[in-house]
């Protein structure tokens, strides 16, 4: 009788062991998904020609976890570069904005490569920084087509007949030209030429007791060249046509 009871006990124990499964509480997880990402960061290039615009469209993309407000800011710009302040500097992902930069200085922005940082600060997840460069490179020389003798020139402020003017390139400043008889007045004045836009800018400069400034265009073809200028003499603006 005791043997039978022992056998039943051992059999029951074996059956219990066979039906019991081992529980594994280990959890396998992948890389955490960021709360937001920023795309569109790239290097910005300017050519030193006095009039230039560059843009960097950005997308702040929702990623995972709770939503949050994201604030954007940009580090200090290099000398000669200005920014359109109308860009969207905060929002809840997903949203887009655009950074627009300008070089509007007469002489052009300072040459060089300037490291920049865009900062994106999440109200919950904290701060992320993104690096890029602003590069300002010199403009290639292009005034050789405009230099020479202009024998058919007119000043709209005078009734005199046509006059002659000679234009030469500044030996030290790229794309600066000098007029030796501007307006037929025997005055020597310089202008800066923009290769891309074909614009001529005459910065304020004093000859004798008169301060001149102005702007215009310089066109050239295979066999001819033409310069149109609006020259301000402190009192009156005169239109000048040179062929």
What whole-number distance in Å separates Cα of residue 116 and Cα of residue 127? 16
Q: Is the model's pLDDT at 145 over the cut of 50?
A: yes
For residues 106, 110, 113, 118, the Cα torsion angle rounded to the nearest 10 degrees is -70
Confidence of residue 137 (pLDDT cuts 50, 70, 90): confident
Neighbours of 16 (CB within 10 A): 9
Residue 16 pLDDT > 80, yes or no?
Answer: no
Residues 31-66: tens digit of each pLDDT: 567 899 999 999 999 887 655 789 999 999 999 878
Q: What is the pLDDT of residue 22?
A: 52
* Confidence grade of residue 103 (pLDDT, cut at 50, 70, 90): confident
**Of 134 and 6, which is predicted with more confidence?**
134
Residue 11: phi, psi to the nearest 5? Answer: -65, -40
pLDDT attached to residue 104 = 73
Distance CA 45, CA 221 (A): 29
């Amino acid at each position: 009788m005791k043997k039978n009871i022992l056998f039943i006990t051992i059999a029951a124990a074996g059956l219990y062991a066979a039906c019991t499964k081992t529980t594994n509480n280990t959890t396998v997880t992948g890389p955490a998904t960021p709360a937001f990402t920023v795309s569109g960061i790239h290097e910005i290039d300017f050519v030193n020609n006095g009039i230039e615009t560059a843009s960097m469209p950005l997308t702040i993309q929702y990623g995972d976890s709770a939503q949050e407000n994201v604030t954007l800011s940009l580090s200090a710009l290099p000398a000669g570069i200005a920014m359109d302040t109308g860009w969207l500097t905060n929002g809840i992902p997903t949203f887009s904005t655009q950074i627009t930069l300008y070089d509007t200085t007469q002489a052009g922005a300072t040459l060089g490569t300037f490291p920049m940082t865009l900062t994106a600060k999440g109200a919950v997840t904290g701060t992320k920084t993104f690096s890029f460069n602003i590069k300002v490179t010199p403009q290639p020389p292009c005034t050789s087509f405009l230099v020479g003798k202009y024998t058919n020139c007119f000043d709209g402020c005078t009734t005199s007949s046509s006059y002659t003017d000679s234009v030469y390139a500044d030996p030290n400043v790229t794309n600066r030209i000098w007029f030796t008889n501007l307006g037929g007045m025997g005055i020597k004045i310089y202008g800066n030429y923009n290769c891309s836009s074909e614009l001529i800018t005459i910065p304020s400069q004093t000859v004798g007791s008169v301060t001149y400034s102005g702007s215009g265009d310089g066109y050239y073809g295979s066999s001819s060249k033409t310069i149109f200028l609006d020259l301000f003499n402190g009192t009156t603006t005169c239109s000048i046509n040179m062929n």
